[in-house]
Amino acid sequence: MTPTISVLIPALLGHESVAAAIDAWSRQTRRDLIEILVLCPEAPTGDPPIDWRDTPIVVATGSRPLNQARAAAIRAASAPLVILAEDHCLPEPDFIENLLPALESGATALGPALRPGNSDTLAALTSFLLGYSQWMAPIDSGPIDILPGHNIIASRAELCSWGPELEDELLVASFLVQRLRREGGRFLIESRCRMRHFDPSSWSRNLRIFFCVGLGFGARRNRDAGWPIRLGYPLLAPAIAAAHWLRAFRQYRRTGAGCGVPAAALLNAIPFALAWAGGESLGAWAGIGRVAPLLHVSEIKPVSREMAARYFPG
């Protein structure tokens, strides 16, 4: 039977790194509707290298960078819909089951409601608030203007129709979503499709991650800009940092205490927002070619089985 949805999990650090993610997708109540594709530099030989709950399909990506690996997996998938999953974002067991009614909406892309994974670590909660507050539970189901670049459900055929431009759009997946929007796409969020987003517990690592996020945003946003604009972009850094922080502040006010994030995270988000803005300034100057090899730093941060069991039992 042809699956309904292909789940694409990057495993650039090897098969073992995504055991918790494979477990979470394997325990779906409608496991029969999905295929799990693991994007790994090499396919395993012999017995599985880890005690997988399920046996996924491995897409051998070789030395390809993450954006090219994701594009290869999208083209290799057999389902009409794909989920651009992350190694550090784990779905609730009824995620796919609750997604099914929303698939009838005709939306171009669907997104989940997100909660913090490692919820007793202030650094992780702060990172989550700044990066994902727009989709932070509690949130109402319905139309939404923008979705996150990852963990969305989209049409495989539409993405493949972009040809070689797909790799470019996947460099910074937020711009893939923006392209879908420009082409007339309609977005929907389904609050019953819940995921736990795990972030690093280290302040210094989160600073590096947001700086690398900024590198990608700055380079991609100014890809076609002239040198005067690119060199002058750092002058906007304070305004960019303020915009990122204010977005988190507004969303925190929307959710209140129900989001599970303490108010202290708002203050601690300031240096993360500054790191993001600083990365954008440098990325605007450096360009895509120079920053592309660094972008995986912000995306490859797998959750161990031990951490998943501690914060996300089941």
pLDDT at 44: 67
Strands 187-197 and 89-91: antiparallel
Rounded distance, CA 77 to CA 3, Å? 10
What is the average per-residue pLDDT within 137-155?
A: 96
Model pTM score: 0.93
Model confidence band, residue 62 (pLDDT cutoffs 50, 70, 90): confident
Please determine, for residue 161, whether its predicted confidence score (pLDDT) is greater than 80: yes
Which pLDDT value is given to residue 241? 98
What is the structure's pLDDT at 257?
A: 76
Other Cβ atoms within 10 Å of 77 Cβ, number? 23
State pLDDT tens for residues 15-36.
Answer: 889 999 999 999 999 999 999 9
- Comparing 144 with 2, the larger pLDDT belongs to 144
CA distances from 274 to 22, 124, 292 (A): 34, 17, 21
End-to-end CA distance of the chain: 28
Task: Please tell me which of 1-10, 123-132, 222-231 the model is most confident about, judged by mean pLDDT.
Answer: 123-132
Q: Calculate mean pLDDT across residues 282-311.
A: 92
Q: What local confidence, expressed as pLDDT, does residue 41 receive?
A: 85
Mean pLDDT on 117-129? 94
What band does 47 get if pLDDT is binned at 50, 70 and 90?
Answer: low
pLDDT the model gives residue 119 = 86
Confidence (pLDDT) at 313:
67
Give the model's confidence band at 130: pLDDT under 50 very low, under 70 low, under 90 confident, else very high: very high
Res. 114: pLDDT tops 80: yes
Q: Can you tell me the mean pLDDT for 63-80?
A: 94
The domain defined by 5-118+136-198 carries CATH number 3.40.50.2000: no
Q: Please say if the pLDDT value at position 58 is more than 90.
A: no
Does residue 222 register a pLDDT over 70? Answer: yes
292 pLDDT higher than 80: yes
DSSP the chain: ---SEEEEEE-TT-GGGGHHHHHHHHT-TTGGGEEEEEEESS---SS-SS--SS-PEEEE-TT--HHHHHHHHHHH--SSEEEE--TTEEE-TTHHHHHGGGGGG--SEEEEEEEESSTT-HHHHHHHHHHHGGGBSS---EE-S---SSS-EEEHHHHHTTTTHHHHHHHSHHHHHHHHHHTT--EEEEEEEEEEE---S-HHHHHHHHHHHHHHHHHHHTTT--HHHHHHGGGGHHHHHHHHHHHHHHHHHHHGGGGS--THHHHHHHHHHHHHHHHHHHHHHH-HHHHGGGGGGGT--PPPHHHHHHHS--
Q: Which residues of 192-214 are buried (b: 16+ CB within 10 A; e: fewer)?
A: ebbbbbbbbbeeeebbbbbbbbb
pLDDT of residue 258: 85
Q: Where are the domains of the chain?
A: 5-118+136-198, 203-296
